[in-house]
Amino acid sequence: MRELGKIDGETVSVALAVPLRSVYDYYTGNYGRLARGTIISVPLGRRFVNGIVLGPGSDSVPRHKLRPIQTVAQLEPLAPGFMDFLEKMSSWTLTPFGSVVKMALSQSDAVPTPPMLTIYRQVIPQPDIARITKSRGRVFELMQKAGSLSAPEIQKLAGVSASVIKTMTKQGLLEETKIQLAMTAARANLARPGPKLTDEQRHAASVICQSIGNGFAAFLLDGVTGSGKTETYIEAVSWALAAGQQVLILLPEIALSTSWKNRFIARFGVPPIEWHSDVGTATKRRAWLAVQRGEAQVVVGARSALFLPFANLGLIIVDEEHDHGFKQEEQTIYQARDMAVLRASQEACPIILASATPSLESWVNAGMTGEKQRYRRLVLSNRVMAAVLPEISAIDLRAMPPERGRWLAPPLIKALQSRLDAGEQSLLFLNRRGYAPLTLCGVCGHQLACPNCDSWMVCHRLAGRLRCHHCGHETELLDKCPVCGESDSMRACGPGVERLAEEVLHRFPDARFAVLSSDTVASPKASQVFVESVIDGEVDIIIGTQMAAKGHHFPNLTLVGVVDADLGLAGGDLRAAERTFQMLVQVAGRAGRESRPGAAILQTLNPENPVIRALLNGDRDKFLANEVAARQAAGMPPFGRLAAIILSAPDKEKLRVAADLLAQAAPRFAGVDVFGPTAAPLSFLRGRHRARMLVRAEKSVDIQQVIQSWIKDLKVPTSVRLYVDIDPYSFL
């Protein structure tokens, strides 16, 4: 092999950033010895892909048959703790290791790293779409989303040739700039004082701060809404930074947490580095490098920020740890909160899970049910500065129904009026986007359904569209029934936030209202504008979906009206009650956060439901105890283990064959129950039919091992996709 180069090459085993379970051997040639964690580019078929060196090759293929690696990135190898995390994450979630590697290398397209990069930006904000070619249209569309990109990225993502970019630049449609690749982040100012902490806050903060630099420790920061949890963990952030460490903060909905960011800036004088889907590619790449070089001090992000290669991670915070937004349901399926705990243990650093309504899992882990205590619980029992928790009451809709075709019952209308008279703000909460969840024909009864999914088309009247919330399929609103042809026969059924807005306009013609949903407030910028307008008193009534329930601090908001408290309780979802309880506590917690006391009113058809009762009695711990008892009795998580195996295929017959194969191979062990196959609750999604099997096992069973050996040798047709969801949430 000597003739290949001056330095002796070795064989290395490489995990490629492609969704494959296997790893491959390559020959390192001139690059000689490469450490575990080294980022490289290797040939795969006729293209080059990025990968990570795992260790010495397996030598199962003779050396002369191996292909040599292409390049080695000019980057430090990924740290051992991070590598271990990636491997453990893959084996816990049963995700192909390559998919995990792909997330970790998401932004290292520049392998090896050039010191300067030429990027392009769009010059004309609103090009005249009618007058441009298709390929240029694609470039514009891409640039509007991405902000700025390099030429190879534009070529790849817009599917255009280099010459298109060249000509567009020449004609002044695109602008070319050179940027330095690394991000030069300003340092946080640690001399700025925070507010004077309350005794409870100070106690919690000092316990956490003492643990910084002393290995793994997990804390459940359990404090009612507005009790100053954020302020408390910011204190811990300050300590970690003072110790020269990096901090990762995960929020369930980062794109919208404007007020959170403002507080951070007020405290540290600089913004944190953000990591979520709204951040442009070029910015992300620089952030990735800054994180890897240890220059980025604080990263605040969505769940994908867990896969950043921190050089020196000293503290992780998962805010609103109960939030289901942390469960990623697509592609790689994982629960980011749980994986954050795993990451903290691999990095040997503390982690804080903060919530006013802890998840059952964290409650159990905090030793609240007599199981082994894994997390230390720190309690903040009062709101700061004299603010009190809102009074929660219910309206029994059976006794006091709204008018026909309306959704607000008389007592809620009265309460809204009294807030308007007092110059205070109200929030009407309804977790349904659009105008109406269902449109049907009044003559023949035809219901408008999505052609690709087993779901209804949701009417969005403001946008003039019908939309499927599962696959994004859209059509115009129909004025005629597509089946019987009758005109003016289509009727909207049920309310969405837009329809509620109509009712508010009808009831309170002089009130100023605003709809807060992902349709009306779609970007971080729009969110900021929205939040400011509410704080400035430009809005009397907010009509919002779950987006309104999270994190906002509106000082003058004193009434929360929950239009349908029962929504979300139906369905066979294991966590339906828990999730509804959490959401309603959160949304009620928006009321009365400062000097004026707040109230929350729940409209319900079932005031006897344990969830509603617990809310009315303010008895969270009893609610949790009941949930614990029910899960324990059913052997469900966190007392037993649960996993779903989902098969999908465009062809129903092929799916049936594959499902039969899966069922035949099902394991038969003591302590393992297998259910199905049955049609998945969404039996048709994005053009694919879906079947599901559920596995429930005793806690002592290694469910991953059971499933792994079950599906390993299964030969399903190529058009059939199989994926595993460990600890499924949505039962999609």
The residues that touch ligand ADP, with contacts defined as CB under 6 A, are: 195-198, 201, 223, 225-231, 384-385, 553
The nearer residue to ligand ADP, 178 or 196, going by C-beta atoms, is 196
Closest to ligand ADP by CB, 117 vs 248, is 248
Give min distance, CB of 204 to ligand ADP, in A.
11
- The least distance separating ligand ADP from the CB of residue 202, rounded to whole angstroms, comes to 9
CB of 683 to Zn ion, least distance (A): 13
DSSP sequence for 337-386:
HHHHHHHHHHHT-EEEEEESS--HHHHHHTTTTSS---SEEEEE-S-STT
94 binds, among ligand ADP, Zn ion, none (CB under 5 to 8 A by kind): none
Q: Least Å distance between CB 187 and ligand ADP?
A: 23
**Residue 183: in which H helix or E strand, if any?**
none
Minimum distance, C-beta of residue 396 to Zn ion, in the bound complex (Å) = 36
**Choosing among ligand ADP, Zn ion, none, which partner's interface includes residue 36 (Cβ < 5 to 8 Å by kind)?**
none
473 interface partner picked from Zn ion, ligand ADP, none, CB below 5 to 8 A per type: Zn ion
665 binds, among Zn ion, ligand ADP, none (CB under 5 to 8 A by kind): none
223 binds, among ligand ADP, Zn ion, none (CB under 5 to 8 A by kind): ligand ADP
DSSP bridge partners of 645: 693, 724
Which residue type occupies 28?
T
Instruction: Report how far residue 424's alpha carbon sits from residue 490's, in angstroms, rounded to the nearest whole number.
Output: 38
Residue 481 is a binding residue for Zn ion (CB under 5 A): yes
Tell me whether residue 229 or residue 641 sits nearer to ligand ADP (CB atom): 229
Match 């006729």 to its residue by tokens: 46
Q: How far is the CB of 682 from Zn ion (least distance, A)?
A: 9
Q: Which does 453 bind (CB under 5 to 8 A by kind): ligand ADP, Zn ion, none?
A: Zn ion
What whole-number distance in Å separates Cα of residue 40 and Cα of residue 72?
4
Q: Is 698 exposed, middle or buried (0-12, 13-18, 19+ CB in 10 A)?
A: middle
C-beta of 542: minimal distance to ligand ADP in Å?
18
Min dist CB 655 to Zn ion, Å, is 18
Size of the site for Zn ion (CB under 5 A): 14
Q: Which is nearer to Zn ion, 322 or 690 (CB)?
A: 690
Nearest to 222 by CA among 314, 326, 323, 352: 352
Is the peptide bond between 112 and the residue preceding it cis, with omega within 30 degrees of 0? yes
Q: Which is nearer to Zn ion, 111 or 468 (CB)?
A: 468
Separation CA 285–CA 180 (nearest Å): 11
- With CB under 5 to 8 Å by kind, the binding choice for 468 among Zn ion, ligand ADP, none is Zn ion
| Contact map string, positions 385 to 424, toward Zn ion, x by CB under 5 A | ----------------------------------------
Q: Token pair of 565, please?
A: 């408290």
Residue 437 CB, nearest approach to Zn ion (Å):
14
**Partner from Zn ion, ligand ADP, none contacting 443, C-beta within 5 to 8 A by type:** Zn ion
Least gap, CB of 223 to ligand ADP (angstroms): 5
Question: What Cα–Cα distance (Å) separates residue 319 from each residue in 190, 251, 580?
Answer: 22, 5, 18
Shortest Cβ 460–ligand ADP spacing (Å): 32
CB of 375 to ligand ADP, least distance (A): 18
The CB-of-468 to Zn ion minimum distance in angstroms stands at: 3
User: What are the CA-CA distances from residue 182 to residues 104, 177, 562, 687 (Å)?
Assistant: 18, 15, 47, 42
The rounded distance, in Å, linking the Cα atoms of 485 and 444 is 9
Which residue, 613, 323, 565, is CA-closest to 429? 565
Structure tokens belonging to residue 97 = 């290791």
Q: Which does 227 bind (CB under 5 to 8 A by kind): ligand ADP, Zn ion, none?
A: ligand ADP
441 binds, among ligand ADP, Zn ion, none (CB under 5 to 8 A by kind): Zn ion
Tokens, residue 514:
């605003």
Q: Which residues are bridge partners to 603 per DSSP?
A: 395
**Contacted by 222, from ligand ADP, Zn ion, none: CB < 5 to 8 Å by type:** none
Q: 9: which DSSP letter?
A: P
Q: Is 319 exposed, middle or buried (0-12, 13-18, 19+ CB in 10 A)?
A: buried
In the stretch 441-480, what mask flags binding to Zn ion with x, by CB under 5 A?
x-xx-x---x-xx--------------x-xx-x-------
Single-letter amino acid, residue 50: N
Q: Which is nearer to Zn ion, 472 or 571 (CB)?
A: 472
Burial label for 649, CB within 10 Å (0-12, 13-18, 19+), is buried
Q: Is 521 exposed, middle or buried (0-12, 13-18, 19+ CB in 10 A)?
A: buried
To 10 degrees, the CA torsion angle through 671, 675, 681, 685? 100
Nearer to ligand ADP, 195 or 485 (CB): 195
What's the min distance (Å) between Cβ of 581 and ligand ADP?
A: 17
The entry of Zn ion, ligand ADP, none that residue 481 binds, CB within 5 to 8 Å by partner kind: Zn ion
Q: Where are the alpha helices (DSSP H) in 123-215?
A: 134-146, 151-158, 162-170, 199-211
Between residues 148 and 232, which has the closer beta carbon with respect to ligand ADP? 232
The greatest distance separating any two alpha carbons of the chain, rounded to the nearest whole angstrom, comes to 90
User: Residue 198: which of ligand ADP, Zn ion, none does it interact with, CB under 5 to 8 A by kind?
Assistant: ligand ADP
User: Contact 18/38 with Cβ under 8 angstroms?
Assistant: no
Q: Which amino acid is at 1?
A: M
Evaluate whether 338 touches 74 at the Cβ level (below 8 Å): no
State which residue, 75 or 490, has the beta carbon closest to Zn ion. Answer: 490
* Residues in contact with 163: Cβ distance below 8 Å, sequence separation at least 6, in sequence order: none
The distance of closest approach from Cβ of residue 435 to ligand ADP in the complex, given in angstroms and rounded to an integer, is: 32
Q: Which string of DSSP letters, residue by residue, matches 252-287?
A: TTGGG-HHHHHHHHHHHSSPPEEESTTS-HHHHHHH
- First-to-last C-alpha distance (Å) of the chain: 53
User: What's at 186, amino acid-wise?
Assistant: A
Which of ligand ADP, Zn ion, none interacts with 225 (beta carbon under 5 to 8 A by kind)?
Answer: ligand ADP
Q: Beta 148-150 vs 458-460: how paired, if at all?
A: unpaired
Q: Which amino acid is at 372?
A: K
Residues 482-521, mask of contacts with Zn ion (x by CB under 5 A) = -xx-------------------------------------
d(CA 128, CA 130): 6
Could you say which of Zn ion, ligand ADP, none residue 484 binds, taking C-beta under 5 to 8 angstroms by partner kind?
Zn ion
Helix (H, G, I), strand (E, B) or coil at 478: coil
Residues that bind Zn ion (CB under 5 A): 441, 443-444, 446, 450, 452-453, 468, 470-471, 473, 481, 483-484
